[in-house]
Amino acid sequence: MNYDIDVREHGRTPLPTAVVDATPTEFWKSVDCEVTKNSGDDRWILKAGNSVGVARIRTPEGYVNLQVKPKLDTADAFFLADYAYEQRHEPLRLLDYDDVGLESAARDPTACLLVWHAHAIRRFAARWLRRDYQKTTRVLDGKVRGRILVNRYVSGHLAVGDAARIPCRIQERTQDTPNNRLLKAGLRFIATVSHDLPVPAARRAVLRQVSAALPLFAQVSDIRVSPSDIRALSTRGPQRHYATVLDATIALLRSQFMGDESSTTPTTSAFMWQMPILFQEAVRGILDAAPDLQLVNSKPGTASIHAADGTRRRTSKVDPDLVLRSSNGKTLLVDTKYKNALPSDHTSDDEDVTAVAERHRIRISRSDIYQVVAYRQHETWPSSKAALLYPLVLADGDELPAPMQVRGFGDEVLVLFIDIGRRASTNLPAFLSVLRGLADQQTMTLTA
C-alpha cells in the first residue's frame, strides 16, 4: 500500500483507518499534524499545523507520503528559506524520528536542501561512521602479512637486491572505505555548489555545516566519484545503516535534488518549515542583505505584573519583529503577519477584509492592530510609529500595493506588503523601495 496525503497548511483531510492504524503516533506529532476522530464518526481527520513540507514513512503496509503546502497558493518557500539563514530563529525542522523520508522540489541549488544534507551526513558520521576490512597492497620491511605477491616480489625486489622489502596483499580495518569516500565526496560537492547561492548568509550557513562534518572524515580519501565507486558500495551486515544516507548522497551527486522536477529519496529525514517563523526570518534576512539598510541587534522590552505592595510577580518580553530607529529618536515598529493574502473563506461583507488592489484583499484583524498599537505604547519606544507587514502572492502584471494606513489609534498604523510568490525576486526591489522611502523621511536605520 502506498498512500499519498495532500493537504494545505492548517487544512483538513480524511484518512482511512488502515493508514492511521499502520502509522505511528509519533510520526504525526513530528510533522506538526493532528489525527483525530469525532465521537460517532467513522472517519479519521488529519489537521495540518504551521509546518510546510514533505515527509515519507515506511509502514508495515507500505509507504505513507505526506505533503503540506503553504496556505498561500504558489508561495515560494525556497525564496524565503534562502534569506532566512543565519537570522535570529531557525525555521527548518530537522526531525529525529526514524524512518521518515524527504521529498523536495527545488528551482535552484537551494541553501535549505544543502544544509539539510550536510547536517544529515554529519549526524550520521558522528554515530555510525564505521571501519571495515579492506584489501590493500603494502610493501612491508622484514615481515609478512596476508598474502605475498610473489611475481612482484621476485621481479621488483629480489632482482634488484631488495629482499627485505616484501609486497603483500592484506586485509585491514580502516575508515577509508568506499562508503565513507562517497559521503566525503558528497560533502565536497555541497561545498562546491554552495558558491552558486545568491545570498551570502546562506552560503556561510552551508559552508559552516560542511566544515563541521569534514573533520569526521579525516582518515578518508578524496575521490572523483565514478561508476566503479558506486558499485563498490556495501549496505550489508554491519554496513546496513549506510543504506539511507548513501541513497540520498547518490541522488544529490546526480543532481536529482537540484533539477526542475520533483525528486524523491526514501527513508531519510523529514523536511518541514514553520512558515510564520520562516516568513519573519526571511524578511529580516532580506533587510540584512540590503546594502543600504543596517541591521543591528537590540534588546527587547519587558512588561511586568506587580502585586499591590509593589512586588514584581511576573515579567514577559515585548519584542516586535523589526524596529526602524531614526537618528533623532523616532522609531517605526514593524510586526510581520503571515496571513493569507486572498483568503477564499471570506465573504465580501467580512469586516476584517480590506481591498488593497483591484484583485487582492487582505484580512487586517483587530487583534493584529491591537498588538502593534500595544508595542507602540511601550516605554522602550516612546513616540514611535507602528506598521504591520503582510505577504502577498502577486501574478504577472500585478504591482506591489502601496502602504495603507489604519487611523483611530492616535498616530496612524501603517500596513505594508511584500510579494512571496513566484515573482518574489522581481518584486523585491519595490518592497525595499518602500522601506527606503520611509527611511528617507525619518533618516531611519534598521534594528532587530
Which pLDDT does position 36 carry in this prediction? Answer: 93
Question: What would the mean pLDDT of 30-46 be, rounded to a whole number?
Answer: 86
Domains and CATH numbers, the chain: 1-75 (2.60.40), 132-174 (no CATH), 290-447 (no CATH)
**pLDDT classification of 333: cutoffs 50, 70, 90:** confident
Asked if pLDDT for residue 85 goes beyond 90, the answer is no
Asked if pLDDT for residue 184 goes beyond 90, the answer is yes
Which pLDDT does position 268 carry in this prediction? Answer: 33
Q: Tens digit of pLDDT for each residue in 252-310?
A: 787 544 332 233 333 334 567 888 888 988 888 888 777 776 665 677 888 889 989 88
The CA distance from 290 to 436, in Å, is 10
Locate 330 and state its grid cell: 523616532
Question: What would the mean pLDDT of 344-353 be, rounded to a whole number?
Answer: 49
Asked if pLDDT for residue 175 goes beyond 50, the answer is yes
Which pLDDT does position 388 carry in this prediction? Answer: 92
Which pLDDT does position 87 carry in this prediction? Answer: 62
Question: What would the mean pLDDT of 326-332 be, rounded to a whole number?
Answer: 64
Asked if pLDDT for residue 100 goes beyond 80, the answer is no
- Order the strands of the 295-296 sheet from edge to edge: 295-296, 444-447, 322-326, 331-336, 385-392, 413-419, 404-406
Out of 134-143, 144-153, 215-224, 348-357, the most confident range is 215-224
Q: pLDDT over 70 for what percent of the chain? A: 78
State how far the alpha carbon of 419 is from the alpha carbons of 9, 321, 401, in Å. Answer: 19, 18, 10
Asked if pLDDT for residue 199 goes beyond 90, the answer is no
Asked if pLDDT for residue 251 goes beyond 80, the answer is no
The CA distance from 176 to 129, in Å, is 10
Which pLDDT does position 43 carry in this prediction? Answer: 85
Q: What share of the chain is helix, strand, coil (3-state, %, to 5)?
A: 35, 30, 40
Out of 114-118, 240-244, 280-284, the most confident range is 280-284
Asked if pLDDT for residue 105 goes beyond 60, the answer is no
Which pLDDT does position 10 carry in this prediction? Answer: 92
**pLDDT classification of 93: cutoffs 50, 70, 90:** low
The CA distance from 180 to 357, in Å, is 56
**pLDDT classification of 422: cutoffs 50, 70, 90:** confident
Q: pLDDT over 90 for what percent of the chain? A: 17
Q: Cβ(86)–Cβ(434) under 8 Å?
A: no
The CA distance from 67 to 9, in Å, is 10
Which pLDDT does position 89 carry in this prediction? Answer: 61
Which pLDDT does position 278 carry in this prediction? Answer: 87
Which of 6-20, 100-114, 250-264, 355-369 is predicted least confidently? 100-114
**pLDDT classification of 104: cutoffs 50, 70, 90:** very low
pTM over 0.95: no
Question: What would the mean pLDDT of 82-109 be, rounded to a whole number?
Answer: 46
Strand 385-392 and strand 331-336: the pairing is parallel
The CA distance from 214 to 221, in Å, is 11
Question: What would the mean pLDDT of 155-179 be, rounded to a whole number?
Answer: 87
The CA distance from 199 to 407, in Å, is 38
Q: Give the burial class of 181: count Cβ atoms within 10 A of its Cβ; 0-12 exposed, 13-18 middle, 19 or more buried.
A: buried
Question: What would the mean pLDDT of 216-243 be, rounded to a whole number?
Answer: 89
Q: Cβ(387)–Cβ(332) under 8 Å?
A: yes
CB atoms within 10 A of CB 107: 12
Out of 87-96, 377-386, 421-430, the most confident range is 421-430
Question: What would the mean pLDDT of 171-180 be, rounded to a whole number?
Answer: 85
194 or 49, which is more confident? 49
Q: Which residue has the cell 507602540?
A: 376
Q: The dihedral of CA 274, 280, 284, 289: what is its sign?
A: positive
Start-to-end CA distance of the chain, whole Å, equals 49
Which pLDDT does position 14 carry in this prediction? Answer: 93
Asked if pLDDT for residue 26 goes beyond 90, the answer is no
Asked if pLDDT for residue 404 goes beyond 90, the answer is no
- Which helix H or strand E contains 149, and what residues bound it? none
Which pLDDT does position 44 carry in this prediction? Answer: 92
Average pLDDT score over the chain: 78
